[in-house]
Chain A
Amino acid sequence: MRDTTTRVLIAQGLTKIYGSRGRAVTRALNNLSLAVDRGEFVGIMGPSGSGKTTLLNLLATIDRPTSGTVTVEGRDTSRMSERELALFRRKRLGFVFQDFNLLDSLTLRENMALPLVLDRQPPSLIRQRVEALAQRLGIQHVLDRFPDEVSGGEQQRAAAGRAVIHEPALVLADEPTGNLDSRSSQAFMEILRDLNESLNVTIVMVTHDPFAASYCSRVLFIRDGALYNEIHRGDGRQAFFQQILDVLALLGGGSGGH
Chain B
Amino acid sequence: MPLDNIRNIVLVLSGKGGVGKSSITTQLALTLSLQGHSVGVLDIDLTGPSIPRFFGIEDSKVHQAPGGWIPVPVHDAQTLTPPSTHAANNGDAQTQIGALSCMSLGFILSSRKDAVIWRGPKKTAMVKQFLTDVLWPPLDYLLIDTPPGTSDEHISLLENLLKQTAAPTSPPNQLAGAVVVTTPQAISISDVKKELNFCKKTGIRVLGVVENMAGFVCPNCSECTNVFSKGGGEIMARDFEVPFLGSVPIDPAFVQLIEEGTRPVYPQGTVVGGKDMAETNGGSDGAKEELLVDKYRSCSLCPLFDGIVATLVADIRSRDV
A and B held together in a complex: no
Interface residues of B (CB under 8 A from A): none
